[in-house]
Amino acid sequence: MINRSRLAALTAVLLLGASASSPVSATGTRTTDLPGTAGSADAGNSRRPENRPAAGVDPLYSRTAPAPAPDTLPGSPWLYADTELEAWRLHLMRQRVKEARLRVRYPGNYYEPSNRAYFRIPASVDAHYPRWVSLNAYGNVRVMMDGQTIYTGAASTSPHKFKLSTPGTLMVALTTEQEPPALWVEKGEFATGNPLWQASADSLSWSYPCAYPRHKDGTLPHRFETPTVRLQPASQNDTLYDFGRELFGFIVLKADSKPQFFAGESILEAVDTAARPREQSFDLEAAGKGLWRSVTPVAFRYAYLPDGASVQTVACDAYAHPARYRGDFHSADTLLNDIWFKSAYTLRLCMHEFLMDGIKRDRLPWAGDLAMSMMVNAYTFADREIVRRTIAMLGREGIAQTDINDIADYSLWWLIAQDRYQLFFGDRLHLQREWPRIKKALNVLESRCDQNGILTDSIRWLFIDWVDVEKENALQVLWWWAQQSAVSLAERMGDKPLAAYWQKKSDALKSVLLARGYDPVRQAWRGKPDGESKPNRHANFLAVISGLATPSQYPGILNILGDTTVTAVGTPYMAGFEYMALSRMRAPERMLKQMKEYWGGMIAQGATSFWEGYDANEDEVKQYGFYGRPFGKSLCHAWSSGPAALIPSELLGIRPLSDGWATFEIDPQVPASMQPFEATIPTPYGDIRVWLRDNQLKVEVPQGSTAKFRGKSYTSAVPLKVRL
């Protein structure tokens, strides 16, 4: 193991010689131009990208197009039965977690993919008969017309052709050995782009199929892997290599014989060669003559090769989910700019088949984490599909046996996420698929309540946050929020009786919580709904952001959140929600100060992505520990990416009011220290572009949407331009 004095010298050299703006070379697919932010209010020219934090952190930073470029094709998509592809991808992810020997546990029940699928579509009455039909499928094929078999075929990469003699209901049944069946028809009446197709895994329950584009190389959608890009170290000192930023991918070494290899998110972790169970596998395998590649992907910034004299080159085939930075932010506050971009980069690293929690561990999706990462995604990449897949997969099995992720509050966050997903992305087809599962989950949760509507029964794990405080009232606040979400979802589905039912239930629960969960003396929410316990932090800020708390309660809540004797949050995850609450209570200066101290503290420690947990009082050794393990803490965790959403949603006050940003509000609380600033917020209608200089606010509204500001409406034809 490297000695301490030598470690200090290496650290000093690397940190001085490899700043966040250190150059990095790449081979393979990547963007060649790195455009800057939206043009300023005074000039339409873009800022030079090399002057922005983005240029030095993400080597694939692009605002013009997804990078790497997607390899998909236009035209009719592949169809899968509802959530079957997602279930298969989760199955593979869980296998790979085991292969990488990650020290994680993934509790809960998850839907196992079916090896059967059924697809049906009406054949038109007035079409010419007889007629020939050609289809492609993954799986053995049986075609039926009105229940009668008219064609069978073994699995083949060639098209299946059959003749229809009469109109009716065409059904295609597919079976496979293990992988999910899939169907593709290129053109004609039965093209898989036709919205009349329905799908089922059991031929009993039917829903809209899930559609995925074809890939240029013919890879089936369920076999597609996140692309990788070859990256080189930013600097080297002796046998310690610094890649300049957090990465997730496969280490590639050139050496005459298999070298010893270690890596870490920090220097301390990289050079720790002690014999102990590790957070990741560093096994290497031959990848060609004189080439060695890590067997499983590694999350790291630093690579350490003790016998590095025999190593000629070091590189990383880094995972790179095709992403375009549609959102952007730049202000006079350079630290805030840095925080915004590193927050976005944190999320980008965690974007794979799903929005997963972290790249060192757990490399899996969690419903509570999604509450924050979905919002960040909406304000940065606006990648609707990855959010849809994550929500759908997490709730597919239902909660009759266990909560989602086996965590009581995560079932509630899943319901809340369904409502917020519609606000950000307006995906009605997804809601139609999910609606039966949403109603079943609500029924299960209601069955767990006592006579007062308090959620009590079958709670195996109440998480809320990694901190030891009373959490029961925070759970009830989330339960109230989930009921309000149910009202909104039922209204979207046109189910007025169910909307009225859950509105009545949430009103009753609110009355109970005011009587038992609110302290009228301290004017704040208690830790338990028992009429006796003291207020705590989590119940109060969740009451604000959920809408349960009223403005008359804000002074008392602000006092609780400012009381240093009240236990602090344990993660950047919950810190993000607390700072959101400060903004909603009109305390932007306080929010900004605390956010910069918290996330800026991680940057001061060398962070290029944000950590699973952070405590400024921990020393250099303790700050990397978690779960009683010296390097158990993930230094890239999606739930810690909050500022990329909080800055535009809270300081600029730009939030959707109706689904898919059809209408949105503008409620800025921008301190003078941030001006001038520019921001871009992506929406399905196009980008909202904002400029503020000397308290002169200008907002460009996307065509088709409407902005609400101080009681007035603004559209693309009448942009907002006012003095604050």
pLDDT in tens, 517-537: 999 999 999 999 999 999 999
pLDDT(27) > 50: no
The region of weakest confidence among 272-281, 386-395, 509-518, 519-528 is: 272-281
Tokens of 51: 């002057």
pLDDT(365) > 80: yes
The mean pLDDT of 98-122, rounded to a whole number, is: 95
Q: Return the pLDDT at 78.
A: 98
Q: Return the pLDDT at 257.
A: 92
User: d(Cα 260, Cα 10) in Å, to the nearest integer?
Assistant: 19
SS3 6: helix
Residues 678-702: tens digit of each pLDDT: 999 999 999 999 999 998 999 999 9
Bridge partners (DSSP) of residue 709 are: 712
SS3 171: strand
Rounded to the nearest 10°, the torsion over CA 59, 65, 68, 72 is: 170
The region of weakest confidence among 33-47, 165-179, 248-262 is: 33-47
User: d(Cα 202, Cα 166) in Å, to the nearest integer?
Assistant: 26
Residues 598-628: tens digit of each pLDDT: 999 999 999 999 999 999 999 888 999 999 9
Given a contact cutoff of 8 angstroms between Cβ atoms, the answer to whether 324 and 65 are in contact is yes
The mean pLDDT of 232-259, rounded to a whole number, is: 95
pLDDT(82) > 80: yes
Q: Return the pLDDT at 37.
A: 31
User: d(Cα 377, Cα 424) in Å, to the nearest integer?
Assistant: 10
The region of weakest confidence among 56-70, 171-185, 478-492, 652-666 is: 56-70
Q: How much of the chain exceeds pLDDT 90, in percent? A: 87
User: d(Cα 66, Cα 177) in Å, to the nearest integer?
Assistant: 35
Q: Return the pLDDT at 55.
A: 53
Bridge partners (DSSP) of residue 145 are: 148, 170
Given a contact cutoff of 8 angstroms between Cβ atoms, the answer to whether 409 and 368 are in contact is yes
Query: Helix H segments across 448-471?
Result: none
Given a contact cutoff of 8 angstroms between Cβ atoms, the answer to whether 429 and 385 are in contact is no
Given a contact cutoff of 8 angstroms between Cβ atoms, the answer to whether 36 and 63 are in contact is yes
Q: Return the pLDDT at 309.
A: 73
Q: Where are the beta strands (DSSP E) in 491-609?
A: 518-519, 524-525
Which of the four pLDDT bands, split at 50, 70 and 90, describes residue 674?
A: confident
Closest CA to 693 of 228, 176, 42, 80: 42
Residues 298-344: tens digit of each pLDDT: 999 999 999 877 899 999 999 999 999 999 999 999 999 999 999 99
Q: Return the pLDDT at 7.
A: 53
pLDDT(133) > 70: yes
Count of alpha carbons within 13 Å of 682, Cβ hemisphere only?
22
User: d(Cα 671, Cα 693) in Å, to the nearest integer?
Assistant: 11
Tokens 């080597």 locate to: 59
**Residues whose CB is less than 8 angstroms from the CB of residue 327 and which lie 6 or more positions away in sequence, other chains included:** 344, 379, 380, 381, 382, 644, 648, 679, 680, 681, 682
Global pTM?
0.93
CA distances from 614 to 276, 293, 362, 611, 619 (A): 24, 33, 18, 7, 11
Tokens of 633: 């803490």
Given a contact cutoff of 8 angstroms between Cβ atoms, the answer to whether 314 and 25 are in contact is no
Residues 702-724: tens digit of each pLDDT: 999 999 999 999 999 888 999 88
Residues 623-642: tens digit of each pLDDT: 999 999 999 999 999 999 99
Q: Where are the beta strands (DSSP E) in 124-167?
A: 131-138, 140-145, 148-153, 160-164
Residues 165-196: tens digit of each pLDDT: 999 999 999 999 999 999 999 999 999 999 99
pLDDT(130) > 90: no
Q: Return the pLDDT at 231.
A: 97
Kindly provide the b/e burial profile for residues 623-636, where b requires at least 16 CB atoms within 10 angstroms of the residue's own CB: bbebeeebbbbbbb
Which of the four pLDDT bands, split at 50, 70 and 90, describes residue 10?
A: low
Q: Return the pLDDT at 458.
A: 61
The region of weakest confidence among 71-80, 305-314, 391-400, 570-579 is: 305-314
pLDDT(25) > 80: no
Residues 531-590: tens digit of each pLDDT: 999 999 999 999 999 999 999 999 999 999 999 999 999 999 999 999 999 999 999 999
Residue 90 parent element (H or E)? helix 84-99
The mean pLDDT of 268-297, rounded to a whole number, is: 94
Which of the four pLDDT bands, split at 50, 70 and 90, describes residue 294?
A: very high
